[in-house]
Amino acid sequence: MREFSTFYSEFQLKGRGSVWHPCTIMKQHESYPLIPIERGQGIWLYDASGNRYLDAISSWWVNLFGHCNPDINAALRDQLEKLEHVMLAGFTHEPAIELSERLVKLTPGSLGHCFYASDGASATEIALKMSFHYWQLCGKPEKNQFISLQNGYHGETLGALSVTDVAIFKQIYAPILHQYKTMPTPDWRYAETGESHRDYALRAAHALENYLAQHHATTAALILEPLIQGAAGMGMYHPIYLQRAREICSRYQVHFIADEIAVGFGRTGTFFACEQANITPDFLCLAKGLSGGYLPLSVTMTTDEIYEVFYHEKSSRTFLHSHSHTGNALACRAALATLDLFEQNAVIQANRDKTDYLNKITLPLATHPKVKNFRNCGMIWAFEFETEDPEFSIKCFQAALKQQLLLRPLDKTVYFIPPYIINQQEMNLLVNGTLKVLDEWSES
Ligand SMILES: Cc1ncc(COP(=O)(O)O)c(C=O)c1O
């Protein structure tokens, strides 16, 4: 077998690759080499030359308990000997049943039903389709529009992209997307000087109310990312917005879809972000950390009321949506092992101590002369770095690698979403390494 490094330099020289990488300007890799990762252990990723990188963004926000986690590995090995996959139509299996029952117990209100898929975007599609279909079945076919938040992100399949508002992903595809309305974001970075985060969130909720007062008859659902708009650059907002949005949606008979694909499973400091507003959505979308980040698995949970409308003998009155790997047994087993880890290690409480520690040691970052809007919510930290360099993101990524860090800024926003197993020594390394990257930048 060829050495990875030889392979990748050949790749760069020829300027063509059999792997077409996601969210990547492929041509950039003529100047910036891809990093061939050979193995992962805990918070660390190891490349073919033996260099290691602290996975400070949990490999696109999915990994909760580290790479090659011994407990999840053991559960998967056990499951492999029993059943790797069976279609979930006409058949069922223990991991899917147990996972559904445990998720139902963990979620608020009457979210009693789990519809599985493989990735986050599919969970969004399912919520949108179910909402639309529900209103059809209830004799309100005119409720066929969706609303979402300015800067929101819900995935990149066509339906999910239609309710996404991130220009870099959406703009070019606009002619083949549905044109839905976006509501002002509650992200406090948009507040007026002197306006509190809460007041700004209330102002954004007021705009939502004004819109729905006029358009509720044609609106099926509002979809949003509770508390943190991830792809928007970790835009954070006050939970009062969620409370108000829930009240407004209930008043106007508009479904409330909470996309907790990125923020679920403890990321915001509570198991689900919606808990901080004490609300129950009509649909809850989960993915990423659901399987501990191990395997593609997503779920759209919904209420008894919605499920019952589809509980019918006629095919036109049922939800005939499917993905081949729906409820994959291995992925469900990884999810069960992940939930066990939460229970056995009182993770949410332990994370609060980690958050306190990281907040203490990030003071030099928060007060850095080129850092703006330093913010934290649960196990997510973010700030904007003041620079005019349009290539800041890729250059910062490269500079961070030299400090043994995997950082991947969203434009000028640097963020940390570390796996929950991060220890104090690793947190020190993360903060000191980031400071070095920023200081070198400030001097150059
Ligand atoms: C809030 C949110 N929704 C949906 C998605 C899409 O998930 P996936 O990439 O698994 O399709 C993401 C992915 O980052 C996300 O952050």
Q: Please state, in angstroms and rounded to a whole number, the distance separating the CA atoms of residues 213 and 211.
A: 6
Q: What is the pLDDT of residues 396-437, one digit of tens each?
A: 999 999 999 999 999 999 999 999 999 999 999 999 999 999
Report residue 108's pLDDT band, with 50, 70 and 90 as the boundaries.
confident
**73-344: CATH number:** 3.40.640.10
396 class by beta-carbon count within 10 Å (0-12 exposed, 13-18 middle, 19+ buried): buried
Of the chain, the percentage scoring pLDDT greater than 70 comes to: 96
Residue among 60, 148, 153, 283 to mutate when testing ligand 1 (max atoms within 8 A of CB): 153
**Closest to 219 (Cα-Cα) out of 184, 187, 183:** 183
pLDDT in tens, 354-398: 999 999 999 999 999 999 999 999 999 999 999 999 999 999 999
412 residue type, one letter: K
* pLDDT given at position 13: 46
At 178, which amino acid appears? Answer: H
C-alpha 160 – ligand 1 centre gap (Å): 9
For ligand 1, atom 9, which residue shows the shortest CA distance? 120
Which amino acid belongs to residue 15?
A: G
Q: Is the dihedral of CA 402, 407, 410, 412 positive or negative?
A: negative
Which pLDDT score is estimated for 8?
54
Residues forming CATH 3.40.640.10 domain(s) in the chain:
73-344
Task: Give nearest CA residue, ligand 1 atom 7.
Answer: 120
The band of 106, judged by pLDDT with boundaries at 50, 70 and 90, is very high
**Average pLDDT over the chain, rounded to an integer:** 95
Instruction: Give the global pTM.
Output: 0.96
User: What average pLDDT does this structure show over 283-310?
Assistant: 98
pLDDT confidence tier of residue 17, bands split at 50, 70 and 90: confident
Contacting residues for 419 by C-beta, under 8 A, at least 6 apart: 42, 43, 55, 58, 63, 64, 65, 66
Helix (H, G, I), strand (E, B) or coil at 114: strand
CA distance 95 to 331: 9
Would you tell me how many other CB atoms lie within 10 Å of the CB of residue 50?
A: 7
- Cα dihedral 374, 376, 381, 383, rounded to 10, equals -20
- pLDDT average, residue stretch 49-69: 97
Predicted confidence (pLDDT) per residue in 205-258, tens digit: 999 999 999 999 999 999 999 999 999 999 999 999 999 999 999 999 999 999
Which of 62, 126, 257, 261 has most ligand 1 atoms within 8 Å of CB, for mutation?
261
Q: Is the pLDDT of residue 1 over 60?
A: no
User: What is the third-level CATH fold of 35-68+348-443?
Assistant: Aspartate Aminotransferase, domain 1 (3.90.1150)
* pLDDT tens track for 146-204: 999 999 999 999 999 999 999 999 999 999 999 999 999 999 999 999 999 999 999 99
* Rg for the chain, CA atoms, rounded: 22
List residues near ligand 1 (CB under 6 A): 119-121, 124, 153-155, 225, 230-231, 259, 261-262, 287
Q: Is the pLDDT of residue 349 over 60?
A: yes
Contact 207, 215 (CB under 8 A): no
User: Atom of ligand 1 at shortest distance to CA of 61?
Assistant: 14
For 185-241, give the DSSP string.
P--GGGSPTT--HHHHHHHHHHHHHHHHHHHGGGEEEEEE-SSEESTTTSEE--THH
**Mean pLDDT over residues 140-150, rounded?**
98
Nearest CA to ligand 1 atom 13: 155
- What are the residue ranges of CATH 3.90.1150.10 in the chain? 35-68+348-443
For the CA of 157, the closest atom of ligand 1 is 11
